[in-house]
């Protein structure tokens, strides 16, 4: 529990798994957030994603996701879509063509300002 912090708002709580020698478990966080968002289903001790059984118990499901990084990335992508985080790679950008700058060809380029000449020495007599 963070009580006072110069970087983030106070009195916020975060929960995550820290594994010795590995650090914060990405797969464990995917399972937790996936269950909270309804993407990963939990039935008793079993975790399931769509038709794939991830495992019985969180530790087995975490190990399964670690062994199958493509599935873990797919779950992460779905979580980000549901939460509205990150760029949507499949959607085209909504930029009107009138807002795009026109690219001039090299022959039509605007003339450059003349280069400054070097300072000339002053004759003092």
Residue 87 tokens, joined: 């760029």
Is pLDDT at 122 greater than 80 in this prediction? no
CA neighbor of 55 nearest in space, from 39, 67, 37, 70:
67
> How many other CB atoms sit within 10 Å of the CB of residue 68?
15
Average per-residue pLDDT in the chain?
Answer: 80
Residue 109 tokens, joined: 């380029």
Instruction: For residue 49, list its beta bridge partners.
Output: 40, 52
CATH of domain 26-86: 3.30.250.10
pLDDT tens profile 11-27:
777 788 888 998 989 99
Query: Are the C-beta atoms of residues 81 and 88 closer than 8 Å to each other?
Result: yes
The C-alpha R_g of the chain, in whole angstroms, comes to 28
Residue ranges covered by each domain of the chain: 26-86
Query: Are the C-beta atoms of residues 48 and 34 closer than 8 Å to each other?
Result: no
Measured between alpha carbons, how far is residue 123 from residues 7, 9, 59, 120 in Å?
A: 62, 68, 86, 9
Q: What is the pTM assigned to this prediction?
A: 0.60
pLDDT tens profile 20-64:
998 989 999 999 999 999 999 999 999 999 988 999 999 999 999
Give the rounded percent of residues in the chain with a pLDDT score beyond 90: 44
Residue 24 tokens, joined: 């914060």
> How many other CB atoms sit within 10 Å of the CB of residue 2?
12
Distance of alpha carbon 43 from its chain centroid, rounded?
Answer: 29
């Amino acid at each position: 529990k963070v009580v006072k912090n110069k970087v983030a708002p106070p009195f916020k709580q975060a929960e995550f798994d820290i594994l010795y020698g590995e650090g914060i478990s990405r797969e464990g966080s995917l399972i937790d957030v996936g269950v909270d968002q309804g993407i990963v289903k939990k039935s008793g001790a079993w975790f399931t994603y769509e038709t794939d059984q991830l495992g019985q118990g969180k530790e087995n499901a975490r190990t399964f996701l670690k062994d199958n990084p493509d599935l873990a990335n797919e779950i992460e992508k779905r979580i980000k879509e549901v939460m509205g985080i990150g760029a949507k790679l499949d959607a085209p950008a909504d930029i009107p063509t009138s807002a795009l700058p026109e690219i001039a060809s090299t022959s039509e380029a605007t003339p450059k300002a003349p280069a400054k000449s070097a300072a000339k020495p002053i004759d003092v007599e």
